[in-house]
Amino acid sequence: MTRYPSADSRISAENIRRRKGGVPIVCLTAYTYPVARLLDPHVDLLLVGDSVAMVLHGHATTLGASLEMMIAHGQAVMRGSVKACVVVDMPAGSYEASPELAVASARRIVKETGCQAVKLEGGVDMASRIAAIVAEGMPVMGHIGLQPQSVEKDGGYKIKGRTQDNIAALLSDAEAVEEAGAFSVVIEGTMEAVAAKLTRHISIPTIGIGASADCDGQILVIDDMVGMTVDRVPKFVKEYANLRSAIADAAARYAAEVRGRAFPGPDHVFKTASGKDKT
């Protein structure tokens, strides 16, 4: 049986809810045990995002994520984290059909990972799913604005909040998510002034990504943030490191040493017969 850290040592969804208007909430995605261990001391919230389908599995969109995939990565992140509030994305197809399906999927994620909350995309159209999950005692993070799971329906990754009709729809979505009982909401790919307006308009924390510095918190995909993304880097990303170059350089030096028989060297082989060598 998997053993998880005590809930008493963790930031809870309710703790996040109470951060509205306070010190900005620091969020990053995480998909693996070692990355979760490295990020956990520095963040308030770790999101096991369905972006894992693209970042680690090579799918063209997040639609490649499955419930099993999200649970497996959620378990890994929970093993590597002791402090952060861990939220696991509900993948496309696991909640849209009915409130009953949403509850069943959320219950499986929470039970099998031990995470603190789940996240799903949608506003007015998904409010009943949020409300049903919350009614069963499982916290939900909402997600409005640009919704990656709807990229095919929307005809691409289109920035939201450019027209008055869309702004009105976003306000309705924000209100619906709040009224359904979500403890926070991600606002993605939305015009800065509109995201700031949404943040002022609702009483739950907003987490921005490609939105506004006025949001109650910020999130980035970890691979984007550390410069490991091998495809196009979104405009809203700031790279705080360049691991692409570091990894490529390390691989090139390793390859050269192997081909030149410089590795392994004397420090990397076992020579004594005493049995005291350490791996």
Residue 198 to residue 95: CA distance in whole angstroms = 25
Residue 229 to residue 36: CA distance in whole angstroms = 18
What's the N-to-C CA distance of the chain in angstroms? 28
- Establish whether 136 is a catalytic residue: no
Q: What is the dihedral of CA 54, 236, 192, 194, to 10 degrees?
A: 0
Q: Which of 237, 147, 145 is nearest to 198 (CA)?
A: 145
For residue 185, count other CB atoms closer than 10 A to its CB. Answer: 27
Catalytic position from the list 188, 192, 239, 257? 188
Q: Which of 210, 209, 248 is nearest to 230 (CA)?
A: 248
Residue 263, C-beta contacts closer than 8 angstroms, at least 6 positions apart: 254, 257
Q: Which of 269, 254, 241, 233 is nearest to 54 (CA)?
A: 233
Residue 235, C-beta contacts closer than 8 angstroms, at least 6 positions apart: 210
Catalytic positions are 188
